[in-house]
Amino acid sequence: MVKQEKKVPPSAAQAELERLQNEQRQRQQEFFKRLEKLKDSEQQRAYQDFNTRLFSDFWPRYQALIKKTKGGVQVRARMAAMELAQGAQKPGQADQLIADILRENRDQAETAQLAMSLRYDNYQPEKKATIKAKLDALGKSKDATVRAAALYALAEVTKDTDAKSAIPLYRRLLAQYPTSSYAKLATGAIFESEHLQVGMIAPEITGPDQEGKTFQLSEYRGKVVVLDFWGFW
């Protein structure tokens, strides 16, 4: 007879996950303070060693939590463990967690986070086909947020190699999920594709100069203009 793992109530599991993540975050903050004191030639090795130790210390604890919970908390725990594995350069463990989420958590709203994570994993060209297949799987989720996230991520992945082919995907997102947060991102992406490409006339900009006099960007057409966008985050 197989002994069943006792499930933890969602609130208790969420609290345990938050404690675990806070502890991990504190370890990372302490490490980065030490890292600043090292020579540039020493930082890369120190960073790799730290991620390896972090994986050894926290991976078993995340796995234990994943086994005794379910739903949204399980998704968040799996995503946290996946980031841990990626940092320690453990692609096998990270891929297994993705497969687990696709198999067991596809219909959880929190799984939208996986779609966005896969979009940023697109820097490896050899993984593009695999990433698109995973996003297609997420596009079959019963949860609208997950489907919207998957469609947006698919458009972003497509844009990296073929900007024109991505526009119909963004427009489909706007039509199917107009009130989602991803629809706002799609609107910006369409505007960028249609108005902010190399060789296009820049959109009009109106604002005060250093003396407070209002000017328009079009007044400088035919001249070399440098636009410096900056802000605080």
Residues 155 and 97 in one domain: no
Domain count, the chain: 2
pLDDT recorded at residue 202? 85
Residues 12 and 72 in one domain: yes
Indicate whether 57 belongs to any domain.
yes
Residues 95 and 134 in one domain: no
Indicate whether 202 belongs to any domain.
no
Residue-range definition of the domain harbouring residue 59: 7-105
- For the chain, how big is the Rg over CA atoms in Å? 23
C-alpha distances out from residue 122 to 38, 58, 94, Å: 31, 26, 15
Strand 206-208 versus strand 214-216 pairing type: antiparallel
Q: Could you tell me the pTM of the whole model?
A: 0.83
Residues 101 and 136 in one domain: no
Residues 139 and 170 in one domain: yes
Tell me the per-residue pLDDT of 74-90, one tens digit each, with 9 for 90 and over.
999 999 999 999 999 99
Q: Which DSSP state fits 201?
A: P
Indicate whether 52 belongs to any domain.
yes
Indicate whether 38 belongs to any domain.
yes
Residues 86 and 157 in one domain: no
Residues 142 and 81 in one domain: no
Indicate whether 111 belongs to any domain.
no
For residues 99 and 174, what is the distance between their CA atoms, to the nearest angstrom? Answer: 28
Mean pLDDT of the chain: 91
Looking at this protein, which amino acid is placed at residue 56?
S
Residues 97 and 64 in one domain: yes
Indicate whether 116 belongs to any domain.
no
- Residue with the bigger pLDDT between 128 and 14: it is 14
Q: Tokens at residue 105, please?
A: 């958590």
Indicate whether 114 belongs to any domain.
no
Band (6; pLDDT cuts 50, 70, 90): low
DSSP string over 17-67: HHHHHHHHHHHHHHHHHHHTTS-HHHHHHHHHHHHHHHHHHHHHHHHHHHH
Q: Kindly tell me the burial class for residue 134, based on how many C-beta atoms sit within 10 Å of its own C-beta (0-12, 13-18, 19 or more).
A: buried
Tell me the per-residue pLDDT of 125-137, one tens digit each, with 9 for 90 and over.
667 889 999 999 9
Residues 15 and 70 in one domain: yes
Q: What does the buried/exposed string (b/e) look like for 76-107 if buried means 16 or more CB atoms within 10 Å of the residue's CB?
A: bbbbbbbebbbbbebeebbbebbebbbebbbe
Q: Which phi and psi angles does 124 have, rounded to 5°?
A: -100, 100
CA angle centred on 102, ends 63 and 109, rounded to 5°: 90
C-alpha distances out from residue 134 to 69, 92, 98, 102, Å: 24, 16, 9, 8
Continuous segment of H or E residues that includes residue 207: strand 206-208
List of residues 6+ apart from 72 with CB closer than 8 A: 10, 108, 109, 110
Band (111; pLDDT cuts 50, 70, 90): very high
By C-alpha distance, which of 144, 141, 84 is closest to 117?
Answer: 84
Residues 95 and 158 in one domain: no
pLDDT recorded at residue 1? 47
Indicate whether 27 belongs to any domain.
yes
Residues 93 and 156 in one domain: no
Looking at the predicted structure, is the pLDDT value of residue 201 above 90?
no
Domain C-terminal end among 90, 105, 120: 105
For residues 46 and 28, what is the distance between their CA atoms, to the nearest angstrom? Answer: 12
Residues 19 and 88 in one domain: yes
Band (199; pLDDT cuts 50, 70, 90): confident
